[in-house]
């Protein structure tokens, strides 16, 4: 799968979100990156030789934004191309995992914990 095809899957996953969620996405950028940097993994307590990320949300979750939240750079959701393509070989499995990863990271934007997101099936 090419990076361009992968990026289209990310766009499709976002476009398939229900309107009530799409309307609430404010000041957040969703980007495709090749790999998480080893330093990033270490900062998250991960061993870059054995662990990786499929996606990462960085920013201020929606529920923590108050009246002083203005003029800030956009939050960032990164979807990592190479780890997903390595782990899921077929286009169908990659598409399904991209969708799951996008939903998972948007869950963090809305303030949901990993545990809650997993309990919801993502």
Q: Where are the alpha helices (DSSP H) in the chain?
A: 3-15, 19-22, 38-43, 81-87, 91-109, 114-119
β-strand pairing of 55-58 with 75-80: antiparallel
Q: Where are the domains of the chain?
A: 3-63+74-119
**pLDDT in the model for residue 68:** 84
Six-digit token string for 24: 């609430």
Cβ-Cβ contacts under 8 Å for 85 (sequence gap 6 or more)? 1, 6, 94
Q: Model-level pTM?
A: 0.91
Six-digit token string for 23: 């309307």
Fold of 3-63+74-119: Zincin-like (3.30.2010)
Six-digit token string for 9: 């899957």
The tens digit of pLDDT for each residue in 31-90 reads 999 999 999 999 999 998 889 999 999 999 988 888 888 888 999 999 999 999 999 989
Instruction: Give, as one character, the DSSP assignment of residue 48.
Output: T
């Amino acid at each position: 799968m090419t990076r361009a095809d992968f990026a289209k899957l990310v766009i499709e996953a976002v476009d398939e979100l229900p309107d009530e969620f799409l309307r609430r996405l404010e000041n957040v950028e969703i980007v495709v990156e090749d790999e998480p940097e080893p330093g990033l993994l270490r900062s998250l307590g991960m061993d870059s030789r054995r662990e990786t990320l499929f996606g990462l949300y960085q920013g201020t979750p929606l529920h923590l934004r108050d009246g002083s939240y203005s003029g800030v750079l956009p939050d960032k959701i990164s979807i990592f191309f190479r780890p997903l393509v390595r782990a899921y070989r077929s286009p169908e499995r990659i598409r399904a995992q991209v969708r799951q990863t996008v939903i998972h990271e948007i869950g963090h934007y809305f303030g949901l914990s990993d545990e809650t997101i997993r309990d919801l099936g993502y």
